[in-house]
């Protein structure tokens, strides 16, 4: 059993003052008491964030794709992808685990307590299967366990090199040739998930261009109810052009006509949408996973959030390639992109509340949990695990902020210097900026040196 006390604890309807939280020996909340009198309270608790889209291995190349050619050729997602392939073709299982462990430690330090790992680096260096089909996925689960973060493993079906095209040699480590190959990978992944009590499984397809349409339909039909389904969609204009040429429809239009889109579906990026597609996604209550720091880094474009919100669209956040790792920063970038195009500062606010910060946190949390397969609408509740980012009350901006302004101070003006630490299942995983396992950094450095990429 553990007993925590906070000056403020953020719930879905606002901040609660002078709060006691008691957990059992498994970190499950057994009691939440507000307005407790006669004690000295410190710090503020925000629910731990969900990182709804991660490619862990790409953390190794953060900052390495910014030396651009002096030629007049365009540098965009497709040129960035060549650098990513070079990395993907050389990572060993041990290197994957050490890179992911470092990444997950950093996610925890920034306030994420659960990650959806969109995992497609499945095979050995030659593109052949490991004896354990889920070898690489198991390494990611081991990394999450060592760091202490919760993980939803999303083993990705990746079959083609493009619409109607065979896979490229550079994609050989990703490929499941047939539907049966992918289902075997799923089965192996389900066994790997059992190795860690805080691991779960989701289904996923890399993109419309990467899997045949019949297999997309087939997978959606066999997916068990309440299991999340993740897919990249409409991230690149070229992908949309190719989809129209090959299928006669844009990607989201095709999905809405052929798949029963519902709240279990998580459409990653969805950057380039028509009005009809915006309305289709919103009406289906499918979620869009936005990764603002990566989308900005790649020059993808700006998601039409303002229009999406008019139709009560649902969205969460992820860090994708991990050039940024702070959930509040993702929310800032998302908001500022909208302000720059709409010339309106009230991005998240609505008729009931103009509190942009609280509304943004609410959407990221509730829909982020859905991306993990969790349907929990209260931020903190009895019977649920106590997962929290703890904000220090010693920073001058936090000390002087009223509760009315605290959420917006965090979303628009915070950084990790304001964080006391991160708690998962009632246990401190990060405290005063430090993880208990100090060998994580050295293992990461060893992996990067052996890859000789930085």
Give 265's contacts (C-beta < 8 A, 6+ positions apart): 228, 229, 231, 259, 284, 286, 287
85-136 residue pLDDT tens: 999 999 999 999 999 999 999 999 999 999 999 999 999 999 999 999 999 9
Q: How far is CA 316 from CA 24, 116, 289, 336, in A?
A: 30, 12, 5, 16
Q: How far is CA 264 from CA 126, 240, 364, 374, in A?
A: 35, 23, 16, 10
What CATH number should be reported for the domain whose range is 49-371? Answer: 3.20.20.140
Tell me what the pLDDT averaged over the chain comes to.
95
Q: For residue 66, what pLDDT is reported?
A: 80
Architecture of domain 2-47+379-432: Roll (2.30)
Does residue 261 contact residue 292 with C-beta atoms inside 8 Å? no
Where along the chain do its domains lie?
A: 2-47+379-432, 49-371
Does residue 15 contact residue 403 with C-beta atoms inside 8 Å? yes
Q: For residue 82, what pLDDT is reported?
A: 81
Q: For residue 75, what pLDDT is reported?
A: 67
Q: Is the predicted pLDDT of residue 175 greater than 90, yes or no? A: yes
Q: For residue 40, what pLDDT is reported?
A: 85
Catalytic sites, residue numbers: 269, 320
Does residue 347 contact residue 82 with C-beta atoms inside 8 Å? no
Q: For residue 374, what pLDDT is reported?
A: 97
Q: For residue 202, what pLDDT is reported?
A: 98
DSSP 135: H
Tell which residue, 180, 78, 89, 195, has the closest CA to residue 135.
195
């Amino acid at each position: 059993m553990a007993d925590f006390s906070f000056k403020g604890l953020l719930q879905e309807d606002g901040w609660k003052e002078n709060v006691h939280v008691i957990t059992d020996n498994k970190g499950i909340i057994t009691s939440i008491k507000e307005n407790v009198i006669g004690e000295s309270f410190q710090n503020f608790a925000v629910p731990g964030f969900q990182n709804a889209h991660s490619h862990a291995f790409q953390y190794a190349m953060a900052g390495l794709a910014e030396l651009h050619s002096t030629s007049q050729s365009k540098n965009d997602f497709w040129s960035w992808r060549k650098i990513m392939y070079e990395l993907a073709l050389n990572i060993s299982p041990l290197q994957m685990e050490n890179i992911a462990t470092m990444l997950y430690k950093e996610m925890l330090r920034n306030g994420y307590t659960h990650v959806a790992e969109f995992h497609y680096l499945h095979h050995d260096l030659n593109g052949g299967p490991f004896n354990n089909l889920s070898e690489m996925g198991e390494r990611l689960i081991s990394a999450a366990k060592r760091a202490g973060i919760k993980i939803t493993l999303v083993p990705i079906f990746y079959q083609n090199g493009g619409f109607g095209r065979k896979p490229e040699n550079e994609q050989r480590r990703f490929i499941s040739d047939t539907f049966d190959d992918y289902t075997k990978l799923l089965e192996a992944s389900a066994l790997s998930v059992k190795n860690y009590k805080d691991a779960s499984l989701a289904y996923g397809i890399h993109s419309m261009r990467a899997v045949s349409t019949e297999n997309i339909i087939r997978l959606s039909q066999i997916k068990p109810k309440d299991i999340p389904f993740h897919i990249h969609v409409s991230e690149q204009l070229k992908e949309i052009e190719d989809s129209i040429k090959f299928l006669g429809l844009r990607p989201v239009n095709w999905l809405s006509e052929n798949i029963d889109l519902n709240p279990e579906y998580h459409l990653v990026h969805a950057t380039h949408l028509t009005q009809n597609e915006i309305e289709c996604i919103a009406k289906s209550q499918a979620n869009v996973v936005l990764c603002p720091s990566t989308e900005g880094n790649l020059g993808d474009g700006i998601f039409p959030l303002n229009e999406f919100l008019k139709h009560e669209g649902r969205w969460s956040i992820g860090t994708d390639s991990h050039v940024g790792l702070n959930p509040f920063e993702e929310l800032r970038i998302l908001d500022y992109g909208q302000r720059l195009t709409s010339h309106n500062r009230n991005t998240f606010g609505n008729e009931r509340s103009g509190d942009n910060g609280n509304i943004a946190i609410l959407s990221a949390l509730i829909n982020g949990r859905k991306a993990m397969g969790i349907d929990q609408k209260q931020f903190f509740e009895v019977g649920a695990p106590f997962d929290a980012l703890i904000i220090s009350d010693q920073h001058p901006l936090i000390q002087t902020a009223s509760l009315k302004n605290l959420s917006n101070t965090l979303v628009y003006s915070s950084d990790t210097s304001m964080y006391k630490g991160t708690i998962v299942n009632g246990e401190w995983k990060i405290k005063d900026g430090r993880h208990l396992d100090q060998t994580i950094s050295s293992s990461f450095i060893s992996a990067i040196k052996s890859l000789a990429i930085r």
